[in-house]
Structure 1
Amino acid sequence: MDRSGVKPDKADAAGVKDKREGGFLDTVKVVAQALLIALVVRSLLFQPFNIPSGSLIPTLLVGDYLFVSKYAYGYSRYSFPLGLVPFEGRILGAEPKRGDVAVFKLPRDNATDYIKRVIGLPGDTVQMVDGRLFINGRVVERERIGNYRDDEDTAPGTGPEVPMYRELLPGGASHVVIERYGDRGPWDNTPLYKVPEGHYFMMGDNRDNSADSRDMNTVGFVPFDNFVGRAEVLFFSIDGAPAWQLWQWPTAVRWERLFTRIH
């Protein structure tokens, strides 16, 4: 008997217990379903990345956050987290186009994520001569469009102004590049590269500050299987502060870059 003189109903107590257990199991199911959906979206549709270095300035800045489409080039084992689906080659493959900005696994370790622009296709020859890009023996057209203040290694607004050009690649794709050291940078004169079949030649838009396919010991030619996806859109961008510092957002977020397409 309890203090009220009413004997507790065992069936009611069991019902309360069942409801609690059912509620916990329902929560577990919802969490599991959410994780499964997130895994599918990340593996098959879009994966978020952030930019930690300035190799693609001015197209991508340090502190940019972007979505990469996983389906753009089909799927390889590198499309899945930690390479958990081990298979060779690609399925539903679509070849990268010249001018795409793409994420790939560094061939040296097949693990580190790099992001560069597709410059050379399989069978192409690529060379830099006095700062000018040559593809298949022909110089790539470029137009001086002004200067770019390069604040990558300095306080905002204090960096040097460097030449900025618009390049027009064979096939019609265009993009903007900067030349930190003019046309006399460390990779402005290179050997003639012949891109092997099934591989691509990748370069950064910050031509004098990019570890890319010009350096055979660091990057070299990138196999098609190593491609993760194509950079599509910026969804967030912050300058000089971690994204989690919400109190910095009013002044640090680059509002004008949010939800812009990547070209």
Structure 2
Amino acid sequence: MNFALILFLLLVATGVLWLIDKLYARKLRAPGASEPWWVEYGASFFPVILAVFFLRSFLVEPFKIPSGSMIPTLLVGDFILVNKYTYGIRLPVINKKVVEMNAPARGDVMVFRYPENPSLDYIKRVVGLPGDTVAYFDKRLTINGEPLEVASEGEYVHLDRLYASAQFSEKLGDVAHAFLNDADKPAYVPQPKQFPQRENCTYTNNGVRCTVPQGHYFVMGDNRDDSSDSRFWGFVPEQNIVGKAFMIWFNFNEPSRIGFFH
């Protein structure tokens, strides 16, 4: 469901009713007469819908985490806020950038439209920038030939499955973050798709190496062995970017999680 489009159509419809009432119909009503139903239930919602549309399109947008691909950073059920302007101001609905600002940086947690189905929003961590060579062999991440330093952080217990994953920390750009690896999962990428510019990637029994095309980004989930990401379906085009996730604003099961994250 394209909620932005639905909101835009509601904005146009209520805006037309509001203008008709303000410029024409209001002058014909007798003093003290009650408003007709189309004003009460249509035009009166216009200011509210306008405020919601502006906030959601240009400032912040709420999302709910539907899967465990970003564990331990984000859990299923986290409600997050996404900054819509930090990567540039885009026109709503068509997602066309009209004002340049910052570019995504390594380590950012980014929301984007899934390249195979732009009606779906995905969230992953930015690993490779345009022109980078990203390698993930034997479950170790290397960027432009430099392996990232990794430190063991014990185990992460998945309470819903009574299963433990090895937890580590690494630093991507200026961002230190945690990630998970499962020793019993294979290092290779099973059944990668035939995505655009797949010739930029080399797959082996030990993993994958990709050179990121200009205007694209390579993203991965922090739950490394349970994430459908650039290793499987390719690069994120710049025009698919929605914004930068920066805060958990609610979690019904764990209110203590409310706050900023890396």
Q: Tell me, yes or no, whether TM beats 0.5.
A: yes
Alignment partner for residue 126 of structure 1, among 131, 134, 148? 134
Alignment partner for residue 163 of structure 1, among 163, 166, 183? 166
Aligned counterparts, 1:13-24, within 5 A: 18=33, 20-21=34-35
* Structure 2 contact 139–207 (Cα < 8 Å) conserved: no
What residue ranges of structure 2 are gaps of 5+ in the alignment?
1-29, 190-204
Inter-partner Cα distance in structure 2 for 1:207 and 1:201: 14
Per-residue deviation, 1:183: 7.1
Q: Does 1:256 align with 2:259?
A: no
Structure 2 equivalent of residue 47 of structure 1: 61
Inter-partner Cα distance in structure 1 for 2:146 and 2:35: 71
Please identify, of 173-182 and 26-35, the stretch whose mean Cα deviation from structure 2 is larger: 26-35
Per-residue deviation, 1:28: 4.6
Inter-partner Cα distance in structure 1 for 2:95 and 2:56: 17
Partner letter of residue 223 of structure 2? N
Q: Does 1:107 align with 2:123?
A: no
Structure 1 pair 256/134, CA: closer, same or farther in 2 (3 Å)?
A: same
Q: Does 1:75 align with 2:89?
A: yes
Inter-partner Cα distance in structure 1 for 2:168 and 2:235: 25
Structure 1 pair 108/27, CA: closer, same or farther in 2 (3 Å)?
A: closer
* Structure 1 contact 181–208 (Cα < 8 Å) conserved: no
Structure 2 equivalent of residue 91 of structure 1: 99
Inter-partner Cα distance in structure 1 for 2:182 and 2:166: 7
Bigger Rg, structure 1 or 2: 1
Per-residue deviation, 1:262: 2.2
Per-residue deviation, 1:139: 0.8
Alpha carbon RMSD of aligned pairs, Å?
Answer: 2.3
* Structure 1 contact 47–70 (Cα < 8 Å) conserved: yes
Structure 2 equivalent of residue 222 of structure 1: 236
Inter-partner Cα distance in structure 2 for 1:27 and 1:151: 47
Inter-partner Cα distance in structure 2 for 1:191 and 1:27: 56
Inter-partner Cα distance in structure 2 for 1:93 and 1:111: 25
Inter-partner Cα distance in structure 1 for 2:244 and 2:87: 8
Structure 1 equivalent of residue 149 of structure 2: 141
Aligned counterparts, 1:24-43, within 5 A: 25=39, 28-43=42-57
Structure 1 pair 165/183, CA: closer, same or farther in 2 (3 Å)?
A: farther
Structure 1 pair 222/197, CA: closer, same or farther in 2 (3 Å)?
A: same
Inter-partner Cα distance in structure 1 for 2:118 and 2:90: 12
Aligned counterparts, 1:187-226, within 5 A: 187=189, 189-215=206-232, 218=233, 220-226=234-240
Inter-partner Cα distance in structure 1 for 2:220 and 2:187: 14
* Identical amino acids, percent of aligned pairs: 40
Structure 1 pair 182/132, CA: closer, same or farther in 2 (3 Å)?
A: farther
Per-residue deviation, 1:103: 0.3
